[in-house]
Amino acid sequence: MKKILFGISIVILFTAIAVSGRLAFVEMRVTEYLIEHESIPEESILVSDSFIANLPGAKNWMVAIKLKDDARTYYYYSQKGQIYLESYTENGVEYVQ
């Protein structure tokens, strides 16, 4: 019984590590994209929060970006090496791209 619990604990631990690593990777790619390709200064990125969305495929790994002096919150995802804007919210209304 202890071996089964230990095995299950190891699987859960590895899954948690893999998920947190994937979220960190997507967040890093999105912030790099914004800084390098969209010419947004790093200081202007107030919030960069990666999360698991309830969407299919690559859209399941999302990053919410909040910029300085901008009321919108932008939601990005990464697919096949490209970064895409999925949607943004403004005044509580979501605008899907």
Domain that holds residue 61: 2-96
Q: Which pTM was predicted?
A: 0.85
Which pLDDT score, from 0 to 100, does residue 81 have? 85
The three-point CA angle 68-89-16 to 5° equals 85
Rg of the chain taking only CA atoms, in angstroms: 17
Convert the pLDDT of each residue in 35-62 to its tens digit. Answer: 999 999 999 999 999 999 988 887 889 9
